[in-house]
């Protein structure tokens, strides 16, 4: 009895370890080939650590490959989206949880529809509208749709947190002479920090990795975001894998870096986004 449970445990750990390797290998391989020369990647040393650490792959990716530019574009789009999503969602949540009016429950449900609407639904009309407004090939062409599609999840998370803030705080602030805006900005918003972090992280990851809109709404090289830029770059460097590897690492590095420090928070934000009530 004792023995069989021991073997079972060992088998479980072997299984877990194998799956761990399956998950780590592609990332490990990406890091190593980003530092290798073609002869190493293509024959001498396919899987091992680089014999000669070729940092020049990174300079190639950054300079001739424009990775620095794409990186900036992605950062601008992601940060603007996060700010807009948070402002709009916090305001809407305040109206949905604090202000008193009929139909706020229905409206909340209406917003939650956004969790299930696929981005395909809007691609043609949004493309046509953006082109009529001459807004294709601008940052706004991505920021506005991204904010709209992040809104449902942001409201979902914010409503949860805002309901936890005791109403007595509002009342005492009122007695102290705060108006509605005073309560909102001085009492509610500062207490919403955990929600802001959750929404911010989730929204960041969604924008940072989004491909379909970024590919369709932006065709100017100068405005491309990372996913589209990496695609373009790999088209240019089909035979040189080193610089492509470097570009992949550059695109992935920020997310993994943040993940190392905030793994728990990031996981929570994904759980919050999926499991509604």
User: Is 86 an interacting residue with respect to another protein (CB under 8 A)?
Assistant: no
Does position 14 bind another protein by CB under 8 A? no
Tell me if 199 contacts another protein by CB under 8 A: no
In this structure, what token pair is assigned to residue 69? 């530019």
Determine which residue in the list 62, 69, 79, 259 makes contact with another protein, applying CB under 8 A: 259
Task: Tell me the number of residues near another protein by CB under 8 A.
Answer: 86
Range in contact with another protein (rule: CB under 8 A) among 48-56, 134-142, 192-200, 249-257: 249-257
Q: If binding is defined by CB under 8 A, does position 41 make contact with another protein?
A: yes
Spatial separation of the C-alpha atoms in residues 77 and 75, rounded to whole Å: 6
**Residue 271 touching another protein (CB under 8 A):** yes
Of residues 98, 140, 189, 197, which one binds another protein by CB under 8 A? 98
Pick out residues in 110-149 that bind another protein (CB under 8 A): 111, 113-114, 116-118, 120-128, 144-145, 147-149
Please, which residue, 196 or 228, has the CB nearer to another protein?
228
Say which DSSP state 188 is in.
I
Total number of residues shown for the chain: 277
Distance (Å, whole) CA 83 – CA 52: 43
| Cβ count near 79 (within 10 Å) | 15
Q: How far apart are CA 41 and CA 184, in angstroms?
A: 57
Assess 207 for contact with another protein (CB under 8 A). Answer: no
CB atoms within 10 A of CB 93: 25
The yes or no reply on residue 1 touching another protein (CB under 8 A) is: no
Contacts of 130 (CB under 8 A, 6+ apart): 136, 141, 217
């Amino acid at each position: 009895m004792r023995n069989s449970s021991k073997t079972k445990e060992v088998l479980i750990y072997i299984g877990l370890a194998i799956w761990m390797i399956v998950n780590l290998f592609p990332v490990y391989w990406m890091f190593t080939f980003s530092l290798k020369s073609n002869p190493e990647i293509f024959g001498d040393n396919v899987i091992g650590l680089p014999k000669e650490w070729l940092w020049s792959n990174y300079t190639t990716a950054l300079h001739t490959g424009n990775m620095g530019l794409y990186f900036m574009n992605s950062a601008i789009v992601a940060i603007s989206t996060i700010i807009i999503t948070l402002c709009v969602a916090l305001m809407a949540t305040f109206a949905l949880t604090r202000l008193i009016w009929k139909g706020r429950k229905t409206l909340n449900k209406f917003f939650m529809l956004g969790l299930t609407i696929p981005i395909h639904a809007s691609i043609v009309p949004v493309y046509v509208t953006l082109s009529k407004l001459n807004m294709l090939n601008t940052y706004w062409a991505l920021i506005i749709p991204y904010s709209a599609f992040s809104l449902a999840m942001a409201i979902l998370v914010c409503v949860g947190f805002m309901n936890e803030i005791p109403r007595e705080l509002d009342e005492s602030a009122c007695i102290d002479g705060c108006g509605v805006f005073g309560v909102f900005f001085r009492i509610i918003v500062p207490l919403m920090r955990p929600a802001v972090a959750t929404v911010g992280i989730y929204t960041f990851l969604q924008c940072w990795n989004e491909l379909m809109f970024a590919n369709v709404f932006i065709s100017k090289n100068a405005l491309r975001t990372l996913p589209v830029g990496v695609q373009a770059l790999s088209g240019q460097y089909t035979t040189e894998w080193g610089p492509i590897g470097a570009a992949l690492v550059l695109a992935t590095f920020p997310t993994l870096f943040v993940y190392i420090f905030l793994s728990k928070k990031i996981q929570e934000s994904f759980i919050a986004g999926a499991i509604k009530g």
